[in-house]
Amino acid sequence: MKYVDEYRDPVLIENVTREIARSVDRGRHYRIMEVCGGHTHSIYRHGLRDVLPDNIELVHGPGCPVCVLPTGRVDDGLSIAERDDVILTCFGDMMRVPGTRGTPLEFKARGADIRMVYSPLDALKLAQSNPARHVCFFAIGFETTAPSTALTILRARALGVENFSVFCNHVTIVPAMRAILDSPGMRLDGFVGPGHVATITGCRPYEFVARDYAKPVVVAGFEPLDILQAILMIVRQLRAGEARVENEYARFVPWNGNRAALAALETVFALRPFFEWRGLGFISQSALELRPDFAPWDAERRFAVPGVRVTDPKAAQCGEVLKGVLKPAQCKLFGNQCNPEHPIGALMVSSEGACAAHYRYAQRAAEAEPAGV
Amino acid sequence: MALAERKRPRVAFSDERIEMAHGAGGKASRRLVEGLIAPAFANPVLDTLSDAATFSLGGVRIATTADGYVVRPLRFPGGSIGELAVNGTVNDLAVSGACARALMATFVLEAGLESATLRAEVAAMAAAAERAGVAIVGGDTKVVEHGLCDGMYITTFGIGEIDVRFALDPRSVRPGDRVLLSGPIGSHGITILLARGELDLEADVRSDTRSVWPFVDTLGAACGSGVRWMRDPTRGGVATALNELVRESDVAIVLDESAVPLGTQVRGACELLGLDPLHIANEGQFLAIVAAADAPCALAALRAVPGGEGAADIGEVRAEPARMVVGATAYGGTRAIDMLVGDPLPRIC
């Protein structure tokens, strides 16, 4: 399969891992954060820790939209689904995220009309084919998914579709990275930069990391070879005493980003003054809301959502895990009270969440030798 | 350890409501059956919790099984609910080492269902039964009000005679045994996911629904005594079936991920949707654990059966890490492969 197989080629992977092993400074410990949940998933899915030297530690970052969504926002979205005249639509990723009174899947089983869509445009189509009902799209995601929400809203306006709205939870990655860089316990050496987000934003927004914090950033794709190559590039920068932004994912990421997508974001969205991130708390100018021009399609304006803030259970240490201070298994609840079937913290919900990935893929897997088939 | 000493760990069911996940074939389904239903009926036949209940009747070893079919849409590329209802029950018997002798079918029909739809499904069942060489000897029909079921539900009950060539027992699985798979996985589950039309994706995939008895029969002739365990990996896929095995037999299974046969279309859909093909349902494949010495001969026999050309040796049984299924990549990475939790949901954002 093109764009997949060549990035999983055992010979190429071996070459890169050998080069990493040759390039690392043996006396040094490397802590590299992969910003994106997609990277976290891929690292576990492909068992990449097994092929890296022991002194490279991968720290899982905040780039999982489901994981950083606070419980209160889930409750707000589900309160919209409880209205008889509403069809709530969301990505599959959201279906198992618990609110205070249950997950979207549980609400659906109890009778709420909640449907999974692959794209917000499908939600708009649903609105057009159900004119007697209101279709609300529970929008989540970073700059990766925000442009498709923006385009959908623009299309709804162009077509005059009035029975459609968006419950906007889009967030932006840079303020979260800055929050992590500014957090007191921060001991990171470099970043595997968010590949999907960068297809939209380009690489320039990450220059502050290199400039202000002197940490290398390598924007990377999601296949094993992409991630390993990015780690090699970070190690080489560190060895040379450099801190630059590099683009490993140049096959999809233009340095200056996707101008059409950025223009759509600019037209439809404004920055919220602040927004709550699960585990990280309130971060200023870190999330998007619909501009007043688009009020008719803004679910928060249309429906009086409760807007209650729900604190996470005290024992859950999601924030520490999100910031990379704790590893998933070091959380007190990991694996016992909090597991993928009964997630307490959101990091256990999405398969991109550090805890769910660790639970699914890492449990004692390292004990097994490769199969001799 | 004597078999009687080996107790299945007690499973508690404390969920307040039945959710969709309880029907998805993963951990929640297991909890429902083992925690809520089985304890009430406890008896030595049921307590094995295998695909088919086996017992002796007048000196003959019998296998019986029943299965309910609730599929939306009723027809999909490569099959339909009626065909599944026959093949699924025939397959549950087949992987228990029994050739189906008779089936019974119960239809729950929704008022308003078009007769032509029912007629088509009955015809599909008749054709599938003929292909599988089994008679449908009885059944029942019920009609419920409009809106109470998705067109129709079918349950089938099957009975078969256990083939003396096999001595299947999950507890006979030993380190060194090989894991054989009859062919490419995931096409049924992906076909249904796409046929629902919710995802607006198109791919040329067809359900793999078929009777697996011809493969089982061939395996019996080639090396019946070397076959330790068989299972058709339906809901929850290969990952769930193998996890159930390692839990019953206290062994580990290490899969060579690159050896798992996978069609290009299914692979593409899984990559796109963030799904693990090992979690996707199949309706015409089966897994067998075979003694290492018999594996080459068993694999050659499977590949000689029409439709079995894609059969593969996908891994081996190990002693450690006990009770785990582990995937190993061609470049030395490993991962734990867990049972499916809930329905497979596309990962998008």
Neighboring chain B residues of A372 at a CB cutoff of 8 Å: 316
CA B133 from centre of chain: 20
Band of pLDDT at residue A166, cut at 50, 70 and 90: very high
The DSSP call for residue B33 is: I
Residue-wise pLDDT for B204-238, tens only, equals: 899 999 999 999 999 999 999 999 999 999 988 99
Decide if pLDDT at A276 tops 90: yes
Lowest mean pLDDT among A233-242, B131-140, B299-308, B338-347: B338-347
Which residues does chain B have within 8 Å of residue A117's beta carbon, measured at their own beta carbons?
Answer: 198
Pick from A14, A341, A350, A363 the residue to mutate for testing the B interface (most B CBs within 10 Å).
A341
Please report the pLDDT score of residue B40 as a whole number: 95
- DSSP 8-state secondary structure symbol assigned to residue B85: H
Contact B349 A140 (CB under 8 A): yes
Of the two residues B144 and B11, the one the predictor is more confident about is B144
The larger pLDDT score, comparing residue B150 to residue A217, is at A217
Contact list, B336 vs chain A (CB under 8 Å): 360-365
Residues 211..240 of B with a Cβ closer than 8 Å to A: which?
none
- How far does A30 lie from chain B, in Å, by closest CA? 20
Residue B3 CA to its chain's centroid (Å): 25
**What is the average pLDDT across B76-87?**
97
For the cut 60, the answer to whether the pLDDT of residue A106 exceeds it is yes
Q: Which residues in A11-45 are b (16+ Cβ under 10 Å) and which e?
A: ebbeebbeebeebbeeeeebebbbbbbbbbbbbbb
Cβ within 8 Å, pair A119-B316 = no
Q: Does B329 touch chain A (CB under 8 A)?
A: yes
For a pLDDT cut of 70, what percent of chain B falls above it?
97
Mean pLDDT for the stretch of residues A259-267: 97
pLDDT of B116 reads: 97
Residue A97 has pLDDT above 50, yes or no: yes
Going through B29-151 in order, the beta strands assigned E by DSSP cover: 53-57, 60-69, 75-76, 79-80, 98-110, 135-144
Average pLDDT over residues A271-294: 94
CA distance A223 to chain B (A): 11
Taking each continuous run of H as one helix and of E as one strand, the counts in chain B are 9, 14
Q: Return the C-alpha torsion angle A98, A99, A103, A106, nearest 10.
A: 140
Q: Does B203 touch chain A (CB under 8 A)?
A: no
What is d(CA A63, CA A297) in angstroms, rounded to the nearest whole number?
A: 27
Nearest to B307 by CA among B236, B228, B217, B221: B217
- Contact (CB<8Å) A224/B331: yes
A95–B347 C-beta distance less than 8 A: no
pLDDT band for B7, please (50, 70, 90 cuts): low
pLDDT in tens, A335-357: 888 888 778 877 887 767 888 88
- Candidates 1.25.40.10, 3.30.365.10, 3.30.70.330, 3.30.1330.10; CATH matching B53-163: 3.30.1330.10
> Cα–Cα distance between A318 and A328 in angstroms, integer?
8
Percent of chain A with pLDDT over 90: 67
Identify which of A92, A115, A371 has the shortest CB distance to residue B347: A92
Helices (H) and strands (E) in chain A, counts: 14, 13
Using an 8 Å CB-CB cutoff, list chain A residues near B335.
Answer: 44-47, 360-362, 365
pLDDT tens-digit map of A176-207:
999 999 988 788 999 999 999 999 999 999 99
Cβ distance B201 to A371 less than 8 Å, yes or no, reads no
Contacts of B131 (CB under 8 A, 6+ apart): B210, B211
- Cite the beta strand spans of A67-144 per DSSP E: 86-90, 114-116, 134-141
Task: Give A53's contacts (C-beta < 8 A, 6+ positions apart).
Answer: A20, A21, A24
User: Residue A363 — pLDDT band, cuts 50, 70, 90?
Assistant: low
Please state which CATH number belongs to domain B170-336: 3.90.650.10
Strand, coil or helix: what is A25? coil
- Alpha-carbon distance of A76 to B167, in angstroms, equals 57
Mean pLDDT, residues A127-148 taken together: 97
Query: Which of A46, A352, A360 lies closest to B338 in CB terms?
Result: A360
Q: Count other Cβ atoms within 10 Å, centred on residue A285.
A: 13
Cα Rg of chain B, angstroms: 20
Among the listed residues B9, B15, B24, the one whose alpha carbon sits nearest the alpha carbon of residue B340? B24
Instruction: Identify all chain B residues contacting A65, using CB atoms and an 8 Å cutoff.
Output: 349
> How many beta-carbon contacts under 8 Å exist across A and B?
151
Distance of CA B37 to the CA centre of its chain: 20
- Would you tell me which residues 153-182 of chain B have a C-beta closer than 8 angstroms to some C-beta of chain A? none
The segment(s) of chain B belonging to CATH 3.30.1330.10 are 53-163
Contacts of A107 in chain B (CB under 8 A): none
> Around A65, how many Cα atoms within 13 Å sit in the side-chain half-sphere?
26
pLDDT band at A41 (very low <50, low <70, confident <90, very high): confident
Instruction: Report chain B residues whose CB lies below 8 A from the CB of A114.
Output: none
Residue A284, number of CB atoms within 10 A of its CB: 12
The answer, yes or no, to whether the previous bond of B9 is cis (omega within 30 of 0) is no
Average pLDDT, chain A: 91
Q: Which of B27, B320, B348 sits opposite A367 (nearest CB)?
A: B320
> Exposure of A365 by Cβ count < 10 A (0-12 exposed, 13-18 middle, 19+ buried)?
buried
Q: Do A14 and B331 touch (CB under 8 A)?
A: yes
Amino acid A362: pLDDT: 67
Best of A46, A66, A350, A373 to mutate (most B CBs within 10 Å, chain B): A373
Chain B hits for A106, CB-CB cut-off 8 Å, are 17, 19
Nearest CA to CA, how far is A37 from chain B (Å)? Answer: 10
The rounded distance, in Å, linking the Cα atoms of A81 and B246 is: 41
Q: Which residues of B touch A116 (CB under 8 A)?
A: 198, 345-346
ipTM: 0.84
* pLDDT tops 70 at residue A237: yes
At A365 the pLDDT is 42
Looking at every residue in chain B, the average pLDDT score rounds to 92
What does the alpha-carbon distance between residue B20 and residue B24 come to, in Å, rounded to a whole number?
A: 7
What percentage of chain A carries pLDDT values higher than 70? 97
Contact A86, A136 (CB under 8 A): yes
Question: Mind telling me how many Å the CA of A151 is from chain B's nearest CA?
Answer: 16
Cα pseudo-dihedral A231, A237, A240, A242, rounded to 10:
-160
pLDDT at B51: 80
Please check whether residue B104 touches A, CB under 8 A.
no
User: Which residues of chain A make contact with B274, given a CB cutoff of 8 A?
Assistant: 41, 351
Domains of chain A: 71-172+258-302 (3.40.50.11740)
pLDDT at B349: 65
Question: In this complex, do A96 and B342 lie within 8 Å of one another by their Cβ atoms?
Answer: yes
CB contact under 8 A, A47 and B21: no
Per-residue confidence at A369, pLDDT binned at 50, 70, 90?
A: very low
Residues 242-281 of B with CB under 8 A from A: 252, 254-256, 259, 264, 267-268, 271, 273-274, 276
pLDDT (mean) for B60-84? 95
Question: CA dihedral defined by A170, A87, A115, A265, rounded to 10 degrees?
Answer: -20
pTM for the model stands at 0.89
Q: Residue A129 and residue A109: Cα distance in Å, rounded?
A: 23
B348 with A224: Cβ contact below 8 A: no
Is the Cα torsion angle A229, A230, A233, A234 positive or negative in sign?
Answer: negative
The set of residues, in sequence order, having a beta carbon less than 8 Å from that of A76 and lying 6+ positions away, is: A167, A300, A305, A306, A307, A308
Task: Flag if A145 and B349 touch (Cβ within 8 Å).
Answer: yes
Q: Considering only alpha carbons, which residue of chain A is nearest residue B337?
A: A361
Q: Is the link from the previous residue into B306 a cis peptide, with omega within 30 of 0?
A: no
Statement: residue B85 has pLDDT above 90: yes
The helix or strand, by DSSP H or E, that contains position B229, with its residue range, turns out to be strand B227-231
CA distance A221 to A215: 19
* Residue A370, pLDDT score: 38
Query: Which chain B residues have a beta carbon less than 8 Å from that of A67?
Result: none
What pLDDT sits at residue A366? 39
Distance from CA of B142 to the nearest CA of A (A): 25
Q: What's the pLDDT band for B9 if we cut at 50, 70, 90?
A: low
The least confident of A109-113, A153-157, B109-113, B186-190 is A109-113
CB atoms within 10 A of CB B66: 16
Task: Decide the pairing of beta strands B60-69 and B152-162.
Answer: antiparallel
The dihedral built from the CA positions of residue A337, B47, B210 and B167, taken in this order, carries a sign that is: positive
pLDDT digits (tens, 9 = 90+) for B162-209: 999 999 999 999 999 999 999 999 999 999 999 987 777 788 899 999
Q: What is the three-class DSSP state of B182?
A: coil
The span from the CA of A34 to the CA of B238, in Å, is 30
Which is nearest to B349 in space by CA: A3, A150, A350? Answer: A350
**In chain B, ranges of CATH 3.90.650.10 domains:** 170-336
**Contact criterion met (CB < 8 Å) for A47 and B348:** no
